Chain A
């Protein structure tokens, strides 16, 4: 799996350079076309109406095409950036962390992020925190990414069920924390659309997504998988009944030593 990370980073870097050219030249061409329009304006004005209309139409389409190239280039750039972030694991600082506080913070961030994107979005958040969990050693920055991914997915699934099934449906996301001996368990459960059984095996695969083109990179869960298992020596499992719920269960070992031992 480590070599997959390196491969990903390598590919992302190799794509980034040509992609920069595509984006840059597309932007340049829009500017050049503007200049052309300005420069040619006096000459074009002397042409017949039909010819003028045709020139305008073609210039308009060219500008539109270039903007499309730039738009899709930016999209590809976003994917490349996610791929690079994917392979960058292990760079953050290990810190003794209050897991409940970390979950709470990520939950707020995810909730307000979702509300900012879609004002009509709403969901009931249920917290069932074990208040006696002693601090655990982890990389807060990366574990937060895992939570944000899981919460974001949960929000998406629950919201989609509301849209698809019925308006009276109440989207709910439930987060549970538990202190197990030597491990801490975090469960994230949503009452959304669930995962069809045939997709269960693909969940953690890089680039696998059920979201419409352009909306998801398909890297969220695979990044989360790497962070939990590779970096922290923990486990992440998904349980789901199609049309009813999805629940992710993460277990993180208490100390970093256990995490490193688990990696070998």
Chain B
């Protein structure tokens, strides 16, 4: 069974980093990674449908245009059940609280601890199905 993960970040090298960190999982077909460079692009991808089944969105907070928190709120109105994890270099309490209130499943700080992230992914309700 294969699942999709959508990663939203305006830094292009984030995509390369995730591709390399998830090389094994991608080769085994556990996860298919999708990338969006902005909140707007992420919503477009969502609207067009992501295949295979999307089980989580990981989003940066500081992005030009629509920022991560606005994206989170928008996703939560469209797809309340879709888990969203916020990933940010600015791990301050205020943003953490805002993300929690808006329904984020997790608040991860950069640099991302990939072992921890993979652990979290295995625990997602969709992934165990």
Interface check A32, CB cutoff 8 A = yes
Report the separation of the CA atoms of residues A16 and B11 in the bound assembly, to the nearest whole angstrom: 13
Which residue on A lies nearest to B112, using beta carbons? A24
Given A21-B13, A25-B17, A28-B21, answer yes or no on A13-B111 (Cβ-Cβ < 8 Å): no
Q: Check B20 against A32 for contact (C-beta < 8 Å).
A: yes
Q: In whole Å, how far is B117's beta carbon from the nearest beta carbon of chain A?
A: 12
Which residue on A lies nearest to B14, using beta carbons? A21
Interface residues on B, range: 10 to 19
Interface check B79, CB cutoff 8 A = no
Given A17-B11, A32-B20, answer yes or no on A24-B89 (Cβ-Cβ < 8 Å): no
Q: Check A23 against B111 for contact (C-beta < 8 Å).
A: yes
Report the separation of the CA atoms of residues A16 and B89 in the bound assembly, to the nearest whole angstrom: 8
A24 partner residues in chain B, CB cutoff 8 A = 17, 111-112
Interface residues on A, range: 10 to 19
Q: Check B17 against A28 for contact (C-beta < 8 Å).
A: yes
Q: In whole Å, how far is A27's beta carbon from the nearest beta carbon of chain B?
A: 9
Q: Check B20 against A13 for contact (C-beta < 8 Å).
A: no
Given A23-B111, A24-B111, answer yes or no on A17-B17 (Cβ-Cβ < 8 Å): no
Interface check A20, CB cutoff 8 A = yes
Within 8 A of A (CB), among B1-53: 11, 13, 17, 20-21
Task: Report which of A17, A25, A28, A32 forms a contact with B110, defined as CB distance below 8 A.
Answer: A17
Report the separation of the CA atoms of residues A32 and B19 in the bound assembly, to the nearest whole angstrom: 12
A21 partner residues in chain B, CB cutoff 8 A = 11, 13, 17
B21 partner residues in chain A, CB cutoff 8 A = 28
Report the separation of the CA atoms of residues A25 and B114 in the bound assembly, to the nearest whole angstrom: 12
Q: In whole Å, how far is B26's beta carbon from the nearest beta carbon of chain A?
A: 14
Report the separation of the CA atoms of residues A217 and B89 in the bound assembly, to the nearest whole angstrom: 22
Residues of A within 8 A of B (CB): 13, 16-17, 20-21, 23-25, 28, 32
> Could you give 5 example pairs across A and B, Cβ below 8 Å?
A13-B89, A16-B89, A16-B110, A21-B13, A25-B17
Given A20-B89, A20-B110, A24-B112, 12 extra CB contacts under 8 A = A13-B89, A13-B90, A16-B89, A16-B110, A17-B89, A17-B110, A20-B111, A21-B17, A23-B111, A24-B17, A25-B17, A28-B21
The 5 closest A-B pairs by CB, nearest first: A20-B111, A28-B20, A20-B110, A16-B89, A17-B89
